[in-house]
Amino acid sequence: MRSIKELSDHVRQQGGKVTPQRIAIWQALTNDKTHPTAEDLYARLTVAMPTLSLATLYHVLNELVEWGEVRRFDTGDGHTHFDPNTTPHAELVCLRCHTVIDAPKAAYTAVALPHELAGYRIVTRSEQYFGYCPACQRLANAMNLTSDERIV
Amino acid sequence: MRSIKELSDHVRQQGGKVTPQRIAIWQALTNDKTHPTAEDLYARLTVAMPTLSLATLYHVLNELVEWGEVRRFDTGDGHTHFDPNTTPHAELVCLRCHTVIDAPKAAYTAVALPHELAGYRIVTRSEQYFGYCPACQRLANAMNLTSDERIV
DNA sequence: TTCTTTGCAAATCGTTTGCAGCATG
DNA sequence: CATGCTGCAAACGATTTGCAAAGAA
């Protein structure tokens, strides 16, 4: 995601207005590596800005996604997650408990982002690895043990 | 996604049952490259199996995702899309109209899928490019022209 | 027979929308 | 001041859940 200053310029260029709500949301996302949901951000933001509405938050998030400043992705937990980190990296998502962390650098494609693909003007790229986290693997093992015991 | 036969074996190994509904859904997904939503699949399936319920479809889709046989992803249109294609490829998603197509082969990471990353047992990987499709670019251009005319 | 799965319908809940008042440029 | 933005609350709609009946193994 670009800086608050650059985003402000971008909004004004589009004939839009730089409001305290937009700035607050942009600030909350800056350097955020927690892959927050809208609810996560709302909880954080309302501490300092109690009147902020979820509707406004969604509106600002959606425009950031359309601008390619933030990526939106799905972990299977029924909540949409957002990530302002558009630098080369990949996420690691657990297929059972749906937690997300950034994948080790070695796992990410070093291929440069093309400007154009099949006539599409490319803005950003997203990469996710899906598997089972250490905790869920232990859980699965424990369940197998139980099944074995039942056989005995 | 693995073959119907392999999936049948997998279900039985887990102590599950191979039902006509599961088979029908597996068949519908086999070789599907359209990135269907649950509703898309439901419409297709109920032609031959009118009593199939959406609840069952969602249940079967969710278990396929948990097994790593199918990937679930989000295009921003409010519908979850599914893809049984777990071979190396990437999707191209329009940030404005939310359509999805497979990206050209050249755009996909040639990096082999690791079996393990940060303690996670890796099952599958997903890669998406986000940008603006030709039609939405034309739309944006048309809108800019209108603005210019307004200045005159 | 046993235990999983199905189907129906209702419930859930994340997200969007409409509109009147407000604030930015 | 003109227009875009906000907040509220209601609407929406995709997905999930509970439970009784059905059917694999």
Kindly report, as residue ranges, where domains of CATH 3.30.1490 are found in chain A: 87-152
pLDDT tens-place string over residues B73-132: 999 999 999 999 999 899 999 999 999 999 998 888 778 899 999 999 999 999 999 999
Characterize A123-140 residue by residue with b for buried, 16 or more Cβ atoms within 10 angstroms of its Cβ, and e for exposed: bbbbbbbbbbbeebbeee
CB A52 within 8 A of CB A46: yes
Q: Per the structure block, which two tokens stand in for B93?
A: 């998603």
What pLDDT is recorded for position B144? 58
3-state class percentages of chain B: helix first, strand second, coil last, to nearest 5: 45, 20, 35
Closest nucleotide to A50's CA, by C1' atom? D7
Q: HSE-up of A113 (CA within 13 Å, CB side)?
A: 20
Any strand D atom closer than 7 Å to B58 CB: yes
Chain B partners within 8 Å of A123 (Cβ): 95, 130-132
For B105-135, the DSSP string reads GGGS--PPPPSEETTEEEEEEEEEEEEE-HH
| C-beta within 7 A of nucleic chain D, residues 30-89 of A | 49, 51-56, 59-60, 78
Would you give the end-to-end CA distance of chain A in angstroms?
Answer: 57
Residue nearest to nucleotide C12 (CA to C1'): A78
What distance in Å separates the CA atoms of residue A133 and residue A90, rounded to the nearest whole number? 16
- C-alpha separations of A46 from A22, A31, A80 in Å: 13, 19, 19
Chain B partners within 8 Å of A114 (Cβ): 107, 129
Give A149's pLDDT tier (boundaries 50, 70, 90): very low
pTM over 0.85: yes
For B141-152, the DSSP string reads HHHHHHHHHHH-
The CATH number of the structural domain formed by B87-152 is 3.30.1490
For A70-93, the DSSP string reads SEEEE-SSSSEEEE---SS--EEE
Mean pLDDT value of segment A7-27: 97
What distance in Å separates the CA atoms of residue A13 and residue A15, rounded to the nearest whole number? 5
Kindly report, as residue ranges, where domains of CATH 1.10.10.10 are found in chain A: 1-86
pLDDT tens-place string over residues A27-43: 999 999 999 999 999 99
Give residue ranges of A with CB < 8 Å to any B CB: 65-66, 68, 71-74, 76, 80, 92, 94-96, 101, 103-104, 107, 109, 111, 114, 117-134, 137, 147
The CATH number of the structural domain formed by A1-86 is 1.10.10.10
CA of B53 to C1' of C10 (A): 15
For residue A94, the SS3 value is strand
| C-beta within 7 A of nucleic chain D, residues 125-144 of A | none
Chain A partners within 8 Å of B68 (Cβ): 95, 130-131
